[in-house]
C-alpha cells in the first residue's frame, strides 16, 4: 500500500498536521488571537428571559448608561434585511419582535471591553406578552405548531404487502437525544470596517461564503463589499456551518455603524443557549420480519425537534431518512420525516447531519429482531446486509454498487474475536452478579455528497511564484481535521515537489468565491479535486513550454521528484519555473470541481444523491453496575474504510475522535430543557463530554488498507469526517446487551439515548421487574 516516495509529504503517506508545531508551541493564531487595532470595541448579546412572547416594551436606558458602553443595537438598527435564514425562508431574525425561545438574542451592546458589554447586557428592562410554548417535538405537534419545512417521504415496494407476508412484527418508539458541539473555541467574529461599503470579518466559520452572504444581506450591500477570513477554527463539528452568521452580522453592523473594529465572543453559557445543536428525534418504527431474522418491511417515522426556525433542519431530517437503512436492505419500506417547529433554539448541523439518528433506528430494529428470535444481533445484521442484484436498492432507489460491509465486518469479527468473547461474556453474565457485561459489533454505511446537489462544487487558487515556491488557497476550512495538510499533499504529488515548498493560506472569500460549507465530510473530496485541477492547468502550460523550448514531444516531459525530465535532460523544478517565468508563462490558476453523476428528485424521493458510500464497523465491550447504572467501556476495536487514505495518520485521528464523540452523544451528553423552556445543561459544568478517563480501556483502530474508492475521487480516497461518528453506536448496543442479561436476553431493553447511568439503571429495574 505504502510505496516509497522520495518526496516529503507525498500523498498516501503519514504527514503531520500542517499546524502541529504551532499548536504545541501556542503559536497557532485563532480569531481571538489576532492583534486588535487600537480602538477595538466589543459586542455582547442581550437575550430574552421568556420562552415565547411578543416584546411589548424594551427599555435599554440602563444598558446605554452603563460604564463603558458605546452603543446598543436593536432590530431597528439593522441597515439591510433582519434575517439570517441560510435557506432563504426569512424565519430567522437577527433580533426578533416575537421571542420564540428562552435566551434568544434581542439586542446587542457595544462597549470598550467585553466585560463591560457583558455586564451591561444584563441591565435591559423588557416586558413581554407571554404566549404558550412547547419545547419538544411531540408536545409541539400536539399544540399545533407547524413543521419548519416540508417533510420527506421515501418509499419503495409495498409495505402493507411486506407486513402481510412476515410472521413477526414489532412496533415501538425510541427517543434519541441531541448533542452540543462543545467545540473548544466558541463562536467569535471580529469585524474591521473598510472604506465605502467594505468590511472584513474574521470569523470562526465552516462556511465563509455564507457568512459573507449573511453579512452583506444584513448590511444591505453587495457580496463584493464583504470579505470573510478564517485561518483555522478550534473545532467546528457542524456548529459553525450556519450558527456563526449571527455573530458575524452583529460585529459587522456595529463596525460599519461606529467605524471601529468590533469583536464579539459570547461566553460558553450564551454559546450553548443561543446557538443550535444536533436534533433530538422521536422515532416510531414498525418492523416486519421472518423466523430467520430477515426483514420484510419497515415503516418508520422520524420527528425532530427543529427549534424555532428552519435553519438546516430540512436537509438534516432528510439525511436521517437516507440513513435509516444503515447497511441493510429493506424489501418494502416507507420512511417519513416530521421537521417539527418547537420553542427552542434552532437546531443545526452536527457531524453526521441527521444520519446518526437514522442509523441508530436501523440498529434498534436489528436488536428488536434479535431479541424476539433469541439470536445474536450480529447474525441478524449479516442476514440483512445489502447484497447483490435484487437486494441492493436503497429506500431512495439508489443502487448500492460499492458494498464492502460484509468483508469489513468479517475481518473485524475475526480480529476482535467477537464470537469467542461473546461466548465468554454470556458465560460471565450467566453466573449472575452485580456487574454485567455486554458486547456488540455494529456496522456503518454512510452516503457521501451534499444532498443539496448544487453544494457539490469547489474552487482553488494556486500560484507558483518565480522562485518555485507554491501558494495554495482553496474554499475549504480548517477546523482541526487536517484538510489543508491533505490538499497540500495532493498539490505536492501533482507537482512532484516537497510538501514544505507549499504555503497553506487562510480561507478567504477574496480568493475563492461562492464556496460550499466545509461539511458533509466533503472537504478533501471537493477541494482536493479543485486544487488538482489548478495544478493540472499550470502543469499543462509548463509541459508545452518545456516541449517547445527543449524541442521534445509533450509526452517526453515528466514531473520527477523536485525536478522535471525534459527529453534526456533533468531540470530542477526551480530552474524550469524561473525559465518559464522569463518566457512569460502564466504560473497561476483557478481550479474548479463539481461532483459528477449525482442527482436527486426530492418530490419523487428518487435519485442518486450520493457519489459513493464509506463503510466501517466497531466492536465494543462494556461492563455495567446493575445497582447504580454506572458503566465503563472495556474495549473497542474498529475497522474503518477510507478508501486509499490521503494521509493515514490523520484519518486514524478522525476515526478515533469521531468514535468518541459518537459515544458521548449516546452515553453522557444530555441536553435538558425545563418546563419553562430553559436549557439547564448550558455549560460543561452540567453537560458532560467524554474525558480521557472515559475512553475505552483498550482501543484498537485500523483502516481497511485494501479498500480503494471505486469512483474517481481524489486519489481514490474516501471521506472520513462523519462516517466513523456512528461507530459509537457499538457502545450503546453493548450497554443494551448488558442490560438485557438481567432478563436472560428475552426482552429488548429499548434503551433511549443518551444511555446515561440513570437510564441504564431504569432499564435494568424495568427488565428485572419483568
* 3-class DSSP assignment, residue 242: coil
Q: Which of 80, 157, 194, 234 binds another protein (CB under 8 A)?
A: 234
Does the footprint of another protein cover residue 684 (CB under 8 A)? Answer: yes
Cα angle, residue 205 at apex, residues 202 and 210 outer, rounded to 5°? 95
Which candidate in 722, 733, 758, 765 is catalytic?
Answer: 722
Residues 6+ positions from 20 with CB-CB distance below 8 Å: none
Binders of another protein among 255-294, rule CB under 8 A? 267-268
Binders of another protein in range 473-492 (CB under 8 A): 479-482
CB 468 to another protein: min, Å: 27
Q: Find how far residue 103's CA is from the centre of its chain.
A: 25
**Cell numbers for 338:** 416530521
Report the candidate in 252, 272, 275, 247 with the shortest Cα–Cα distance to residue 262. Answer: 252
What's the min distance (Å) between Cβ of 286 and another protein? 36
Pick between residue 602 and residue 682 the one whose CB is nearest to another protein: 682
Q: How far is the CB of 633 from another protein (least distance, A)?
A: 12
- Nearest approach in angstroms of CB 501 to another protein is 20
Window contacting another protein (CB under 8 A); options: 95-103, 153-161, 233-241, 361-369 = 233-241
**Contact pick of 143, 160, 430, 691 for another protein (by CB under 8 A):** 691
| Closer Cβ to another protein, 388 or 685, answer by number | 685
Q: Under 8 Å CB-to-CB from 313, ≥6 apart: which residues? A: 148, 149, 279, 304, 306, 307, 339, 346, 347, 348
CB 680 within 8 A of CB 672: yes
If one asks whether residue 657 binds another protein (CB under 8 A), the answer comes out as yes
Q: Is 17 in the site for another protein (CB under 8 A)?
A: yes
Q: Which is nearer to another protein, 67 or 544 (CB)?
A: 67
Q: Do 316 and 347 meet the contact criterion of CB atoms below 8 Å apart? A: yes
Q: Which residues contact 545 (CB under 8 A, 6 or more apart)?
A: 579, 580, 583, 585
329 interacts with another protein by CB under 8 A? no
Q: Name which position in 52, 232, 341, 750 contacts another protein (CB under 8 A).
A: 232
Contact 46, 121 (CB under 8 A): yes
CB of 566 to another protein, least distance (A): 38
Site for another protein in 625-654 (CB under 8 A): 649-650, 652-654
Residue among 201, 256, 214 nearest 506 (CA): 201
Separation in Å, CA 470 to CA 392, 453, 455, 458, 462: 45, 32, 28, 20, 7
Cβ-contact 49, 92 below 8 angstroms: no
Shortest distance (Å) from residue 472 CB to another protein = 19
Taking CB under 8 A as the rule, which mask of x and - marks residues 106-125 in contact with another protein?
A: ---------x---x------
Least Å from the CB of residue 189 to another protein: 16
Note if 92 is an active site residue.
no
Q: Which of 19, 310, 484, 626 binds another protein (CB under 8 A)?
A: 19
| Interacting span for another protein (CB under 8 A) from 134-142, 277-285, 541-549, 683-691 | 683-691
From 379, 400, 380, select the one nearest 389 (Cα to Cα): 400
CA dihedral 196, 199, 200, 204 (to 10 degrees): -170
Of 82-90, 223-231, 277-285, 685-693, the segment contacting another protein by CB under 8 A is 685-693
Question: Which residue in the set 44, 95, 128, 183 belongs to the binding site for another protein (CB under 8 A)?
Answer: 183
- How far apart, in whole angstroms, are the C-alpha atoms of residue 572 and residue 549? 15
Annotate 256-270 with three-state secondary structure.
HHHCCCEEECCCHHH
Q: Which C-beta is closer to another protein: that of 21 or that of 570?
A: 21
Q: Which is nearer to another protein, 590 or 649 (CB)?
A: 649
H or E, element range at 117: helix 114-120
The string of DSSP codes covering 493-543 is HHHT--GGGEEE--EETTTS-SPPPS-TT-HHHHHHHHHHHHHHHHHHHHH
Using CB under 8 A, which of the segments 131-139, 177-185, 368-376, 540-548 binds another protein?
177-185
| Subset of 62-91 contacting another protein (CB under 8 A) | 67
Is-cis flag, bond preceding 157, omega within 30?
no
State the pairing for strand pair 507-508/557-560. Answer: unpaired
Minimum CB distance to another protein, residue 514 (Å): 26
Q: How far is the CB of 39 from another protein (least distance, A)?
A: 15
Catalytic positions, please? 722
- Residues lying near another protein in the complex (CB under 8 A) are found at 16-17, 19-30, 32-33, 35, 67, 115, 119, 181-186, 232-237, 267-268, 479-482, 649-650, 652-654, 656-661, 683-685, 689-695, 699, 701
Amino acid at each position: 500500500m505504502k510505496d516509497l516516495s522520495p518526496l516529503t509529504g507525498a500523498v498516501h503517506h503519514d504527514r503531520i498536521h500542517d499546524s502541529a508545531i504551532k499548536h504545541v508551541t501556542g503559536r497557532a493564531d485563532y480569531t481571538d488571537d489576532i492583534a486588535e487595532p487600537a480602538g477595538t470595541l466589543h459586542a455582547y448579546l442581550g437575550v430574552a428571559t421568556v420562552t415565547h412572547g411578543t416584546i411589548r416594551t424594551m427599555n435599554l436606558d440602563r444598558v446605554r448608561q452603563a460604564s463603558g458602553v458605546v452603543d446598543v443595537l436593536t432590530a431597528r438598527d439593522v441597515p439591510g434585511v433582519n434575517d439570517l435564514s441560510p435557506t432563504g425562508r426569512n424565519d430567522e431574525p437577527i433580533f426578533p419582535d416575537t421571542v420564540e425561545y428562552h435566551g434568544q438574542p434581542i439586542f446587542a451592546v457595544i462597549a470598550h471591553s467585553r466585560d463591560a458589554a457583558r455586564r451591561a447586557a444584563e441591565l435591559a428592562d423588557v416586558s413581554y406578552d407571554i404566549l404558550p410554548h412547547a419545547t419538544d417535538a411531540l408536545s409541539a405537534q400536539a399544540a399545533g405548531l407547524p413543521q419548519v419545512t416540508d417533510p420527506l417521504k421515501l418509499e419503495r415496494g409495498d409495505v402493507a404487502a411486506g407486513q402481510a407476508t412476515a410472521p413477526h412484527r414489532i412496533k415501538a418508539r425510541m427517543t434519541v437525544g441531541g448533542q452540543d458541539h462543545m467545540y473548544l473555541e466558541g463562536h467569535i467574529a471580529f469585524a474591521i470596517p473598510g472604506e465605502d461599503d467594505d468590511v472584513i470579518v474574521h470569523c470562526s466559520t465552516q462556511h465563509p461564503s455564507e457568512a459573507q452572504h449573511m453579512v452583506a444581506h444584513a448590511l444591505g450591500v453587495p457580496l463584493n463589499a464583504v470579505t470573510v477570513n478564517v485561518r483555522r477554527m478550534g473545532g467546528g463539528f457542524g456548529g459553525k456551518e450556519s450558527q456563526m452568521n449571527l455573530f458575524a452580522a452583529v460585529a459587522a453592523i456595529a463596525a460599519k455603524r461606529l467605524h471601529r473594529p468590533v469583536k464579539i465572543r459570547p461566553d460558553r453559557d450564551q454559546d450553548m443557549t443561543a446557538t443550535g445543536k444536533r436534533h433530538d428525534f422521536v422515532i416510531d418504527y414498525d418492523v416486519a420480519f421472518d423466523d430467520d431474522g430477515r426483514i420484510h418491511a419497515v415503516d418508520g417515522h422520524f420527528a425532530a425537534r427543529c427549534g424555532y426556525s428552519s435553519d438546516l433542519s430540512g436537509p438534516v431530517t432528510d439525511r436521517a431518512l437516507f440513513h435509516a437503512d444503515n447497511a441493510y436492505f429493506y424489501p418494502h419500506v416507507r420512511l417519513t420525516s416530521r421537521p417539527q417547529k418547537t420553542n427552542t433554539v434552532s437546531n443545526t448541523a452536527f457531524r453526521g447531519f441527521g444520519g446518526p439518528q437514522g442509523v441508530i433506528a436501523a440498529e434498534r430494529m436489528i436488536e428488536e429482531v434479535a431479541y424476539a428470535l433469541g439470536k445474536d444481533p450480529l447474525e441478524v445484521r449479516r442476514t440483512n446486509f445489502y447484497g447483490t442484484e435484487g437486494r441492493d436498492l436503497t429506500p431512495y432507489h439508489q443502487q448500492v454498487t460499492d458494498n464492502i460491509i460484509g468483508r469489513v465486518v468479517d475481518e473485524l469479527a475475526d480480529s476482535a474475536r467477537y464470537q469467542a468473547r461473546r461466548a465468554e461474556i454470556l458465560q460471565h453474565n450467566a453466573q449472575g452478579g452485580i456487574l454485567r457485561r455486554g458486547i456488540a459489533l455494529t456496522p456503518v454505511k454512510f452516503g457521501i455528497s451534499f444532498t443539496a446537489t448544487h453544494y457539490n462544487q469547489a474552487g482553488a487558487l494556486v500560484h507558483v511564484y518565480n522562485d518555485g515556491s507554491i501558494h495554495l488557497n482553496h474554499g475549504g476550512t480548517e477546523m482541526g481535521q487536517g484538510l489543508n495538510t491533505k490538499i497540500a499533499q495532493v498539490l505536492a504529488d501533482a507537482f512532484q515537489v516537497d510538501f514544505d515548498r507549499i504555503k497553506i493560506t487562510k480561507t478567504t472569500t477574496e480568493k475563492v468565491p461562492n464556496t460550499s460549507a466545509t461539511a458533509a465530510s466533503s472537504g478533501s473530496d471537493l477541494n482536493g479535486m479543485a486544487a488538482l485541477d489548478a495544478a493540472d492547468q499550470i502543469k499543462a502550460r509548463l509541459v508545452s513550454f518545456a516541449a517547445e523550448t527543449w524541442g521534445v514531444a509533450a509526452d517526453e516531459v515528466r514531473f520527477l521528484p523536485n525536478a522535471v525530465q525534459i527529453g534526456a535532460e533533468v531540470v530542477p523544478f526551480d530552474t524550469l519555473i524561473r525559465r518559464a517565468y522569463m518566457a512569460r508563462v502564466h504560473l497561476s490558476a483557478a481550479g474548479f470541481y463539481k461532483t459528477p453523476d449525482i442527482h436527486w428528485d426530492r418530490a419523487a424521493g428518487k435519485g442518486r444523491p450520493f457519489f459513493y458510500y464509506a463503510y466501517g464497523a466497531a466492536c465494543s465491550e462494556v461492563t455495567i453496575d446493575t445497582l447504580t447504572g454506572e458503566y465503563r467501556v472495556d474495549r473497542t476495536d474498529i475497522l474503518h474504510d477510507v478508501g486509499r487514505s490521503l494521509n493515514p495518520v490523520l484519518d486514524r485521528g478522525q476515526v478515533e475522535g469521531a468514535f468518541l464523540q459518537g459515544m458521548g452523544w449516546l452515553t453522557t451528553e444530555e441536553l435538558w430543557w425545563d418546563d419553562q423552556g430553559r436549557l439547564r445543561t448550558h455549560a460543561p459544568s452540567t453537560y458532560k463530554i467524554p474525558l480521557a478517563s472515559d475512553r475505552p480501556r483498550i482501543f484498537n483502530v485500523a483502516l481497511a488498507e485494501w479498500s480503494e474508492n471505486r469512483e474517481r475521487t481524489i486519489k481514490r480516497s474516501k471521506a472520513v469526517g462523519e462516517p466513523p461518528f456512528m461507530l459509537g453506536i457499538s457502545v450503546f448496543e453493548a450497554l443494551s446487551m448488558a442490560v438485557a442479561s438481567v432478563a436472560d436476553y428475552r426482552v429488548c431493553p429499548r434503551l433511549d439515548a443518551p444511555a446515561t447511568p440513570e437510564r441504564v439503571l431504569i432499564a435494568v429495574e424495568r427488565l428485572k421487574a419483568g
